[in-house]
Each structure stands twice: as C-alpha cells, then as structure tokens.
C-alpha cells in the first residue's frame, strides 16, 4: 500500500471515525452511538436492522408464500412472488447504499491541505473552506469563529467548525459519532451505521419506503400463517411448543418494528414536505435560505475528496487525538458555531453540531 515516497492512500489513513471498506470504495459510520456499542467493528443496531429484514423474508419466501399460493391459488400465481421479490431486492439495495455511501463528508482542514484540493473544493462549494487565505486558525474557538468566517458568509449562515477547522455551509453539521462535518446533515442513524446527509438521504428514504411496503406484504402473511386455524392444525403435528412460542414473539416483534418504521416514514415525509432536516426540526434552527435546496429532490452534490489520493501520513491529524480534543471542548461547553446562542448549545451538550 505504501508508495510514492512513503505516502499512503487516503482511505488507509482517514483522520476521523468513519471506516472505509472494499478498498476505499465504500464508507460507513463511526459506530458507538448510545445506547448500542459496536461489536467487532459492526454495530449491533445495524446487525439488528439486517436481521429484521432477512429473517422474516427468509421465512416468508421459504414457508409462508408457498403456503399462500398452495391454499389460495391466486391467478396469475407468479404476481405475488414477483412483487415481493422486487420489494425485497429494492430494500436490500437501498439499505446497502445507505450504509455504505458517502453521506456528503466535508474534508477537514489538514486533509484539504494534505491533498492539495483547496482550489477545487472552493470551486465546487463556492466558498473557501479554509477561510481567508492569509489567516490561520488560532485554536481559540470563539476567536476563530469570528476571524475565520467572513461577515458576509456569517450572515448567510456559514459557521466555523473548530474540530475540522473549516468554514462549513449553513445546513452542514458536525457528526459526533463519525467525527466529521457532513453536507446538509440530517441525522446519524445507528440502524444503518452512517450519517444521513446530502448524498445519501434519497437512499435512506428509498430504504424506508421499500421496507415499509415489504413489511405490509410480509407481516400479514406471516400472521396468517401463524394464526390461521387450518395452517395451525397442519403445523402442530411437527412443531414443538417452544418453537411456536418463538414464532409468536418473533412475529409480534417484526410487526412492532414495521409499525415504528411506518411512523418514521410519515415523519420524514412531513420533513420533506416542510423542506427541513431532522436536525433543523429537533433544534429549531434553520438555514436562512433553503428554497434552492429541497431535502429530497435535490442534486446529490459532489464528493469532496478522493479516498484513493496519495497523502503523507505526517500531514494528517491523529484521529484519536482529534476526537479527544473534540470531547474536551464539548465538556467545556464551548459554542463554536453560534457564539450568540451559546446557552442553547450548552443544553445540547454539543460543541459544534
């Protein structure tokens, strides 16, 4: 992996908590979101999500669907399996895309300098991510929030991120779980172990929509298989009591999960119609002008870094040290992006969300 005079591929020395997989082709979140801790590099919450999709579908396709077709003999018989399969494939593809795609990560200062991409990112974003060319951040969050962000940009909602040491756009936020700023940050989702932002929000909506439709097809069929009298009589000859109990518990768990998914989908539909992100709704803060950037039907936005670029590791910050600094800043209750409203930020316990 080492080449070009001791330099490394960027994805092997990524200075934040996110992790690259498939040799830098995919990126996933930083784990550790309370209350679920990671297990062997895979968050329990995302494992639960995959199990909630795969287990009921396996039972549906292998047992429940053949039983339905045998007993009801729907015509044409292949319509139901085909529709179910299409929804299952859509759910898995959208889930994978949400878990493993770049949500719109904004590279931190040292990364921009190490890769020499200041000019190209400035052209893409329309403002200099690093602030005025002649100035360097002092390390004092309040001072930098004033001097590193031009007054004109501040009035338009641009803010200084002390952790990344960059000027971030109005709807971007710093994800504490992934330790990086994300364009049009919506929220960090532990169930897909990734941020949901400008570049993967439509994948997330696609996943919740497909999963909800799939659940509407799978859950009633599973319930019917479990509770229909004639099916029960047929199955009781072979089934043992504990297996039937597990089936009841599993079925109700899946039904409850599907219900929660429906609530989540309705909530995001409401957000899309209002043009808000989850973050903006929960905090009550809103960018001044979002008319040109709807949350759903907006351009996906460019990728602001190349994971395969060659970098000198010495030019990049240590991820752990950076995270530690971030946490100590949070403990100090410092407000980095909104000095005028520091009390609200202290209440959130966030340094530069």
Least distance from Zn ion to the Cβ atom of residue 243, Å: 39
Tokens describing residue 278: 């989850």
C-beta of 178 vs 225, nearer to Zn ion: 178
Give the active site residue among 57, 178, 189, 195.
Answer: 189
Tokens describing residue 150: 């031009």
**Cα–Cα dist 150/127, whole Å:** 10
Least distance from Zn ion to the Cβ atom of residue 199, Å: 13
The total number of residues shown for the chain amounts to 353
Binding mask 26-45 for Zn ion (x = CB under 5 A): ---x----------------
Least distance from Zn ion to the Cβ atom of residue 111, Å: 11
Least distance from Zn ion to the Cβ atom of residue 173, Å: 8
> Given the rule CB under 5 A, which of 24-32, 44-52, 65-73, 81-89 is the region that contacts Zn ion?
24-32
Least distance from Zn ion to the Cβ atom of residue 223, Å: 36
CA 349 from chain center: how many Å?
A: 21
> Residues binding Zn ion: what is the number (CB under 5 A)?
11
DSSP annotation string for 167-189: EE-TT-EEETTTTEEETT--EEE
Exactly one of 52, 65, 161, 205 binds Zn ion (CB under 5 A); that residue is 161
C-beta of 60 vs 204, nearer to Zn ion: 204
> Interface residues for Zn ion in 192-221 (CB under 5 A)?
195
Q: Per CB under 5 A, does 149 bind Zn ion?
A: no
CA 187 from chain center: how many Å?
A: 7
> Interface residues for Zn ion in 165-194 (CB under 5 A)?
174-175, 177-178, 181, 188
Least distance from Zn ion to the Cβ atom of residue 240, Å: 44
Exactly one of 52, 105, 121, 164 binds Zn ion (CB under 5 A); that residue is 164
Q: Are 337 and 139 in contact (CB under 8 A)?
A: no
Residue with tokens 């003999």: 73
C-beta of 182 vs 254, nearer to Zn ion: 182
C-beta of 149 vs 175, nearer to Zn ion: 175
Specify which residues 20 forms β-bridges with: 27
C-beta of 84 vs 173, nearer to Zn ion: 173
Residue 26 is a catalytic residue: no
Query: Measuring CA to CA, which residue among 20, 108, 116, 27 is closest to residue 321?
Result: 108
Tokens describing residue 128: 């200099």
**Cα–Cα dist 250/178, whole Å:** 32
Q: Are 43 and 35 in contact (CB under 8 A)?
A: no
> Given the rule CB under 5 A, which of 41-49, 80-88, 112-120, 160-168 is the region that contacts Zn ion?
160-168
Q: What 3-state class would DSSP assign to 252?
A: helix
Task: Name, in order, each residue with C-beta under 8 angstroms of 241's C-beta and a sequence gap of 6 or more.
Answer: none
C-beta of 183 vs 261, nearer to Zn ion: 183
Peptide bond into 35 cis (omega under 30): yes
Binding-site ranges for Zn ion (CB under 5 A): 29, 161, 163-164, 174-175, 177-178, 181, 188, 195
Give catalytic residue positions: 189
């Amino acid at each position: 992996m080492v080449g070009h005079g001791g330099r490394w591929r960027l994805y092997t020395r990524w200075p934040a908590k996110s992790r690259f997989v498939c040799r830098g082709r995919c990126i996933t979140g930083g784990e550790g979101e309370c209350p679920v801790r990671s297990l062997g590099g895979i968050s329990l919450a995302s494992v639960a999500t995959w199990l909630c999709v795969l287990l009921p579908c396996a039972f549906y396709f292998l047992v429940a669907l053949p039983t339905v077709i045998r007993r009801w003999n729907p015509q044409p018989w292949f319509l139901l399996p085909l529709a179910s399969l299409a929804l299952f494939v859509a759910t898995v593809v959208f889930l994978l895309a949400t878990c493993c795609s770049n949500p719109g990560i904004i590279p931190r200062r040292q990364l921009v300098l190490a890769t020499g991409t200041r000019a190209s990112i400035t052209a893409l974003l329309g403002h200099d991510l690093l602030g005025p060319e002649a100035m360097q951040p002092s390390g004092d969050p309040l001072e930098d929030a004033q001097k590193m962000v031009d007054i004109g940009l501040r009035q338009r909602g641009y803010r200084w991120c002390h952790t990344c040491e960059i000027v971030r756009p109005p709807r971007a936020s710093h994800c504490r779980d992934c330790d990086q700023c994300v364009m049009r940050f919506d929220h960090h989702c532990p169930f897909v172990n990734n941020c949901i932002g400008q570049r993967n929000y439509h994948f997330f909506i696609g996943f919740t929509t497909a999963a909800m439709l799939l659940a509407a097809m799978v859950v009633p069929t599973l319930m019917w298989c479990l509770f229909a009298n004639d099916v029960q009589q047929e199955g009781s000859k072979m089934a043992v009591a504990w297996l039937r109990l597990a089936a009841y518990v599993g079925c109700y768990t899946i039904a409850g999960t599907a219900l929660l998914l429906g609530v989540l989908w309705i909530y995001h539909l409401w957000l899309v119609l209002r043009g808000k992100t989850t973050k903006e709704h929960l905090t009550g803060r809103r960018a001044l002008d979002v008319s040109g950037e709807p949350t759903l039907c907006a351009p996906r936005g460019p990728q602001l870094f190349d994971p395969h670029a060659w970098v000198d590791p010495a030019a990049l910050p240590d991820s752990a040290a950076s995270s530690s600094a971030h946490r100590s800043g949070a403990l100090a209750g410092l407000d980095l992006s909104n000095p005028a409203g520091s009390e609200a930020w202290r209440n959130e316990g966030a340094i530069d969300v």
